[in-house]
Structure 1
Amino acid sequence: MVNLNGTIKSHNEANITFDNRGLNYGDAVFETLRFSGGKIYFWEDHYFRLMASMRILRMEIPMKFTMEFLEDEILRTLKSIEKKDGSYRVKLLVWRKTGGKYTPETNDVEYAISFEKLHNPFYVLNEKRYEIELFKDHFITSGLLSTLKTNNRLINILGSIYAKENDYENCLLLNENKQVVEALNGNIFLISGTIIKTPPLSDGCLNGILRKQLISIIKMLPDYILEETSISPFELQKADEIFITNTIQGIVPVTKYRKKKFVDTMAKVLLPKLNLKARMG
């Protein structure tokens, strides 16, 4: 089932017009949410990121788009299925209404909410092989727009095809300054000794919800120093540990990059703290 502008419909009935601006111009933003244990993980952070993204893209935010209204719409959508318990990946997509070419006729918006089942009710560590490589065919442009969750994801798509063709689980993306920015589907953290690094938003990495949560957790660890700083590709093989973070998977430890193999020590320390924060937050 899909919630299209407040109306619950089947996937076959939930149609959009051919001149949809999200389809034609990428004029859309979205949030990917994790629902488990009867609640949306870190909903307040997701909501304020969505509002900030809409403002940056000069979309008109409807008066009814309160945090309570959108949460109720998500929960109402999930209640449309027979089995209401469990864990779900929810996507909240907002696009500017049809009209105009590059210059919109209106800044008013429409929205859709969809979901799919998840297997685990909480975050778990992947214990399998997880080898990564750099994707160097195209680069992320550092700056504000790259930090938003828009549906302009061609670099991520091409990088994912490259990873699949070359038997990698993921790839790391670079910006125009050849600094490591993020993975194809999440932010990255690099651990060397007691130093934990993650790229700054100014380098063009996604303003990730899990990134924010883990930064706050790491800052509470007395034996480690967190640095939001640019990361050179040359640092990757010198690191003790690398992991990728996103809202759906949580923490994903990297096992290998080229000839270097990594441990998952810090990931195992952070995971229970993240699960606790997700349930309490």
Structure 2
Amino acid sequence: MLNFNGELIPQHSNFINQNNRGLRYGDALFETIKVVNTRINFWEDHYLRLMASMRILRMEIPMSFTMEFLENEILEVIKANNLEKAAARIRITICRNDGGLYAPVTNDVSYIIEAKAIENAFFTLDESSYEVELFKDFYVNPDMLSTLKTNNKIINVVGSIFAQENNYQNCLLLNNQKMVVEALNGNIFMVVGNTIKTPPKKDGCLNGILRKKLIEIIGKLPQYQLVEESISPFELQKADELFMTNAIVGIQPITKYRKKTYTHEVAQDLLGKLNAAVRLGQLV
């Protein structure tokens, strides 16, 4: 079951048509959230990012869209899919309502909430081989729109196909200044000694929730120095570690880029602290 504007309907229902603006123009955004035993990981951060993104896209935010309302809508979908005692991936999609060409006739929105079971309740470290390569066919624009989770993700789609065709587990995206921005499905962090570096949002990287949480965690740890600076492709082969982050996986170590192999000690250390932050949030 999924939730369409407050109504629970079967997953395969034909509830949108060719006039949907998300389909026609990519006039939509989404939020991907991990829920464990009905506890929503970092819900306030996800909610605030969703509201900020809607404002940037000039969508009309319904008066009903409070944190409590959307939390209840999520939990209704969890319950309808019998996932109350499981881990689940939630996707909230917000589409501007039908009508108009590029210029819409309304800024009112519709929403879809989906749930899918996932395996791990807490974040775990996958130590298997994880090789990446640069994706250089297309580039990310270093602007605010690139930091949002909109439905305009064709570069991620084509990059994923490139990775599959060449037996890579992921690819790293570059902006049009040829700086490393992020992975296809998450933010990127690079470790050199005790310095942990991640691209700044002005380079066009996604404003990721796990990115934000890790920056907060690292900032409190005296053994590490966090730097938000552009990363050139040449730096990748000098790094001790590379890892990517997203709300579902948590931290994914990268083991190889071209001839360079990486360790994952810092990623392992940070993973424990990230899980502690999740547990703390669930107790609040």
Aligned-CA RMSD value: 0.8
CA distance in 1, matches of 2:144, 2:95: 19
- Partner Cα distance (2:72, 2:81) in 1: 15
Matched residue, 1:110 = 110
- 2:227 equivalent to 1:227: yes
Which residue in 1 is equivalent to 2:79?
79
Matched, 1:131 2:131: yes
For the residues of structure 1 that align with 2:275 and 2:83, how far apart are their CA atoms?
A: 24
Runs of 4+ off more than 2 Å: 81-84
Q: Give the letter aligned to residue 143 of structure 1.
A: D
Shift of 1:116: 0.7
Residue 272 of structure 2 aligns with which residue? Answer: 272
Letter in 1 for 2:125: L
The Cα shift of 1:83 comes to: 4.8
Q: Is the 8 A contact 2:83 2:117 kept in 1?
A: no
CA distance in 2, matches of 1:118, 1:198: 28
Superposition deviation, residue 276 in structure 1? 1.1
Alignment of 1:169-248 (within 5 A): 169-248=169-248
Q: How many matched pairs?
A: 281
- Identify the residue that residue 66 of structure 2 maps to in structure 1: 66
Which residue in the other structure is 1:251 paired with?
251
CA distance in 1, matches of 2:251, 2:242: 10
Aligned to 1:47: 47
Is contact 2:38-2:78 (8 Å) kept? no
Counterparts of 1:177 and 1:258, CA distance in 2: 21
Following TM superposition, by how much is the alpha carbon of 1:84 offset from its aligned partner in structure 2, in angstroms? Answer: 2.5
Three-state SS of the structure 2 residue aligned to 1:238 is coil
- Partner SS for 1:79: helix
The alpha-carbon deviation at position 38 of structure 1 amounts to 2.5
User: Structure 1 residues 37, 272: closer, same or farther in 2, change over 3 A?
Assistant: farther
CA distance in 2, matches of 1:253, 1:139: 23
Distance 2:129 2:104 in 1: 46
User: Equivalent residue for 1:21?
Assistant: 21
Kept after mapping to 1: 8 A contact 2:38/2:84: no
CA contact (8 A) 1:27 1:96 kept: yes
Deviation at 1:278, TM superposition (A): 1.1
C-alpha distance in structure 2 between counterparts of 1:275 and 1:128, whole Å: 20
Q: C-alpha offsets along residues 3-55 of structure 1, whole Å, 9 cap, x if unaligned?
A: 00000010122521211000000000100000013211000000000000000
List runs of 5+ in structure 2 lacking aligned partners.
none
Inter-partner Cα distance in structure 2 for 1:112 and 1:267: 34
Aligned to 1:217, what secondary structure does the other structure show?
helix
Give the Cα–Cα distance (whole angstroms) in 1 for the partners of residues 114 and 79 of structure 2.
12
Q: 2:62, 2:201 → 1: CA distance?
A: 28
Deviation of 1:199 after TM superposition, in Å, equals 0.1
Q: Which runs of 5+ in 1 are unaligned?
A: none
What SS does the corresponding residue of 1:126 show, helix, strand or coil?
Answer: coil
AA aligned opposite 1:237: Q
CA contact (8 A) 1:32 1:92 kept: yes
- With normalisation by structure 2, the TM-score equals 0.98
- Give the Cα separation in 2 of the matches to 1:82 and 1:213: 29
The residue aligned with 2:99 is: 99
1:153-179 deviation line (CA, Å, top 9, x unaligned): 000001000000000000000000000
Q: Which amino acid aligns with 1:217?
A: I
Asked if the contact 1:41–1:279 (Cα under 8 Å) also holds between the matched residues in 2, the reply is no
Q: Distance in 1 between matches of 2:101 and 2:163?
A: 34
The residue type paired with residue 117 of structure 1 is: A
SS at match of 1:71: helix
Answer with 26-35 or 77-86: which moved more.
Answer: 77-86
TM-score for both structures, normalised by structure 1: 0.99
